Amino acid sequence: MSGITRRGFVKGAALAPLALTTPFTSMAQQSATAERFDVVVAGAGHNSLVCAAYLAKAGFKILVLEGRPTIGGGVKTAEVCLPGFKEDLCSSVHSGISNNPLMRNNELNLRDYGYGEYIESDPVMHIPFLDGASITVWRDLDRTCETIARFSKKDAETFRRMVAEFTAYTAATRGNPGGESSDSAAKIPKAGVWRRRFAMSGYDLVSEIYESDYMRRANLVCGHFGSVPGGDPGTGNQAFSLVVQQISGRVIPKAARAR
């Protein structure tokens, strides 16, 4: 794999015609004149490819440059252990993009290429601990609370309450880009409480909400999926990681990215 940076790759691509010898100068000039692009996209990760596809659909001429030998960014599938065994190198769950109009409304016709077929996993996730304890998150709230009650009945009751509060909060803020600062802030239940929660660190908030280390650790581990340390201020949402998993689930792509 080359150590070239994206900036260096783009710069090299732009200067390449200047390195041609004199006999090929006119050919390079003709090619440069013919190959003009409206937008140049640096990097061929899934976000870049989606943007490029939308721009192309809108009628723009697009050039996508990638410095790595394989496109896809965080959604690559490769044989890294044994031949024939394909593994996800980064993303294994499409919980966010599956609700995007890109997939929900098939705006780019990706289903024609095998993308957009999902498995609704249940149980959603299972979190084992070294001492034999575990937490299993199911789409059924009662069933999830039963696994939590095995080590803390109080935390099971708290989790049930947090699911109800988070559901009410998201329902009140859905379709409200202005959030709590907008005119509809008064309709948000416990708006001030949520503002304080999200301003805290995930560690401080999860320690405040739950009594058991199992629930604290499980929430922070899942919250760390976004690569932001739970000890940082403003990561209070990580205390609701398991709540989100229970409410939304974790849809898994059905072998689409391996094609």
Spell out the per-residue pLDDT of the chain, length 259, in tens.
Answer: 445 555 554 454 444 443 433 343 344 445 445 689 999 999 998 889 999 999 999 999 999 999 988 888 877 778 888 888 887 777 777 777 777 888 888 899 888 887 777 888 899 999 999 999 999 999 999 999 999 999 999 999 999 999 999 999 988 887 554 445 445 555 788 888 999 999 999 999 999 999 999 999 999 998 877 667 888 899 999 999 999 999 988 888 776 444 4
CA atoms of 161 and 82, how far apart (whole Å): 45
Q: At what angle do helices 241-248 and 153-173 cross, to 10 degrees?
A: 70
In this structure, is the dihedral angle defined by the CA atoms of residues 220, 221, 224 and 226, taken in order, positive or negative? negative
Amino acid occupying residue 202: G
Q: What is the 3-state secondary structure (H, E, C) of 133-190?
A: CEEEECCCHHHHHHHHHCCCHHHHHHHHHHHHHHHHHHHHHCCCCCHHHCHHHHHCCC
For residue 17, say if its preceding peptide bond is cis, omega within 30 degrees of 0. Answer: no
What's the confidence (pLDDT) of residue 22? 39
User: Angle 21-25-26 (CA atoms, 0-180°, nearest 5)?
Assistant: 155
Residue corresponding to tokens 């005119």: 183
What is the separation, in whole angstroms, between the first and last Cα of the chain?
22
In this prediction, residue 196 carries a pLDDT of: 93
pLDDT of residue 33: 52
Q: What is the pTM of this model?
A: 0.68
pLDDT for 25: 39
Strand 62-65 with 39-42, pairing: parallel
Look at residue 113 in the predicted model and tell me its pLDDT: 80
